Amino acid sequence: MNIKKLTGLVLLGIALVLLPSALHAAATGAVSAKITLEFEGKSFPMSAAQVTILDKEIDLGVVDFLAKQNAEKSKNKKRSYHLFRYIYLVREIENSRRAGVRQVRSGIVTKRADNKGEVLVRYLVPGDYFIGAYRKMGKMTVVWFVPFSVTAGRSTPVNLDNNNAFEFYDPELYP
Between 25 and 155, the more confident residue is 155
Q: Are 137 and 127 in contact, with CB atoms under 8 Å apart?
A: no
What gap in Å lies between CA 21 and CA 45, rounded to an integer? 33
What gap in Å lies between CA 95 and CA 159, rounded to an integer? 24
Q: Calculate the average pLDDT of the chain.
A: 86
Q: Is residue 49 part of a domain?
A: yes
pLDDT of amino acid 96: 84
Domain boundaries, position 116: 29-173
H-type alpha helices, the chain = 3-26, 60-71, 77-95
Is 77 in a helix, a strand, or coil? Answer: helix
Is 100 in a helix, a strand, or coil? Answer: coil
How many domains are there within the chain? 1
Q: Is residue 133 part of a domain?
A: yes
What gap in Å lies between CA 135 and CA 50, rounded to an integer? 7
pLDDT of amino acid 23: 46
Q: Is residue 124 part of a domain?
A: yes
* DSSP state, residue 125: P
Residues 6+ apart with CB under 8 A from 173: 82
The CATH number for 35's domain is: 2.60.40.1120
Q: Classify residue 140 as exposed, middle or buried by CB count within 10 Å of its CB (0-12, 13-18, 19+).
A: middle
What gap in Å lies between CA 172 and CA 123, rounded to an integer? 42
Average pLDDT for 121-140: 92
Q: Is residue 142 part of a domain?
A: yes
Average pLDDT for 97-109: 73
Q: Is residue 164 part of a domain?
A: yes
- What is the full DSSP assignment across 42-61? EEEE-TT-EEEEESS---HH
Q: Is residue 1 part of a domain?
A: no
Q: Is residue 11 part of a domain?
A: no
pLDDT tens-digit map of 44-94 = 999 999 999 999 998 899 899 999 999 999 888 888 999 999 999 999 898
- Percent of the chain at pLDDT above 70? 86
